[in-house]
Amino acid sequence: MKISPDCIPCFFRQADEITKRLNHSKYKKKKVFDEIAKAIPRFSLNITPPLVGRFIHNIVKKIAQKDDPYLEIKKRSNELALSLYPYLKRKLNNVQDRLKEAIKFSIAGNIIDYGVNSVTGDGEMKKKLKEILERKKVNKKFFRYAKFKKSLKKAKSILYLADNAGEVVFDKILIEEIRRIYPQKLIFYAVREKPIINDALADDAYFYGIN
């Protein structure tokens, strides 16, 4: 997918969201917007949205004068998500198909927003999680569980791609469940090499005991 002129307002919305989450002053916020406005004429319509996202993040890093502006947000989301771990394990022990439930946890973790302006406590997170898990309609086009189980059984090794920092606890539960069923399989958990927005890094994986 390539960018289009319709994407341009989204660049500013993304920058606005980032600066709000980082509690930037109005002066720093304007600097971020000014830098983006200067760069837009140089953007080719052949580049992809992730490249633009990286560019915006680099501007924020430069103006914030921090290598990882999201560090504190990631720490808080990690601590909040980790507080759910015992609850999730208990829930897993009370279902017949543990693997399927662990997959649902992982999907739910991807849906929940861990930003400082959204989920603010473990009680609220449990409520959000319950709402997601109790949704009746599941699009089978995207959730092919039987096919996944067959592929999992055949695989000699598994590459698991991490997403945001606060989601790693849900990944950990699914990885533990896969290891319980297939202890001989190699599982590689891939994280970002360098900070980019609130994506998980090696330190986030280590925080949850994934190594």
CA distance 33 to 19: 10
Give the helix, strand, coil percentages of the chain, each rounded to 5.
Answer: 60, 5, 30
Token pair 């759910």 in the structure block, residue: 84
* Per-residue tokens: 117: 């302006």
Show me where the domains of the chain are located: 5-64, 71-207
Query: Mean pLDDT, the chain, as a whole number?
Result: 85
Predicted local distance difference test score (pLDDT) of residue 117: 43
Instruction: Enter the pTM of the model.
Output: 0.79
Assigned architecture for domain 71-207: 3-Layer(aba) Sandwich (3.40)
Helix (H) / strand (E) containing 96: none
Q: What does the pLDDT average to over 101-111? A: 86
Residue matched to tokens 């504190």: 72
Q: What does the alpha-carbon distance between residue 184 and residue 156 come to, in Å, rounded to a whole number?
A: 8
